Amino acid sequence: MRIGLYPGTFDPVTLGHIDIIRRATALVDRLVIGVAINRDKGPLFPVDERVAMIEAEVSGIAADTGTEIVVHPFENLLVDCAHDVGATIILRGLRAVADFEYEYQMVGMNRHLDENIETVFLMADAQHQAIASKLVKEIARLGGDVRPFVSKAVRDALVARFSGV
Ligand code: ADP
């Protein structure tokens, strides 16, 4: 049984993340989506809302692909989270060169902590590559149209959040 861990903040989950999740299901038998609780990032959505949003998005993918998908909040070290869920592969998405430096360092550090865990990088489809949660939040905050970047449910959650509903 091959278990992969796809960690992130997912604040909120975007079509870029969903693209990576769909690709990751082709590589593992069980995909655990690790939702980092805060990591001093001051997330817009509390962790239980981020988890619920991801669960709603991925149920169709699990049904389509037959891959078990589990959403797992975590606050400890990434390699410890991987141990907790039995994952031997960490999956990350790569957008542009800008992501590379940070990811490169993270792989190096994680390898020191556990050399048996392999990190695999995936790239989203071209139309999803530029999507970043941070910019989606900024656009939503300023009243822009986020439909090209997130699902309807996530868009509604963003609109509600910024209109104070
Ligand atoms: P983090 O805070 O760890 O960067 P994110 O939620 O922003 O968490 O992203 C989680 C993972 O998904 C990261 O590996 C990130 O590079 C990847 N990712 C986010 N958006 C995209 C995208 N549009 N295309 C490909 N990978 C992406």
Element (H, E) at 73: strand 68-74
Segment 91-100 mean pLDDT: 90
Asked whether 54 lines ligand 1 (CB < 6 A), one says no
Tell me which amino acid residue 50 is: R
Q: Output the CA–CA distances (angstroms, integers) from residue 19 to 14, 23, 123, 130, in the order listed.
A: 9, 6, 8, 12
17 CB less than 6 Å from ligand 1?
Answer: yes
How far apart are the CA of 156 and the centre of ligand 1, in A?
A: 21
DSSP code of residue 165: -
Report the predicted TM-score, pTM, of the whole model to 2 decimal places: 0.95
134: Cα within 13 Å, side-chain hemisphere: 4
CA of 92 to the centre of ligand 1 (A): 7
What pLDDT shows up at residue 39? 64
Averaged confidence pLDDT in the chain: 95
What digits encode the pLDDT tens for the residues 27-75?
999 999 999 997 677 899 999 999 999 999 999 999 999 999 999 999 9
Question: From the CA of 93, how far away is ligand 1's center (Å)?
Answer: 5
Two tokens, residue 59: 């149920």
Asked about 152 being catalytic, the answer comes back as: no
10 lines ligand 1 (CB under 6 A): yes
pLDDT tens digits, residue range 112-144?
Answer: 999 999 999 999 999 999 999 999 999 999 999
* Residue 67 in contact with ligand 1 by CB distance below 6 A: no
Give the residue, out of 92, 97, 102, 129, with the most ligand 1 atoms within 8 A of its beta carbon, to mutate for a pocket test: 92
| Domains of the chain as residue ranges with CATH | 3-126 (3.40.50.620)
Q: How far is the centre of ligand 1, averaged over its atoms, from the C-alpha of 116 (Å)?
A: 23
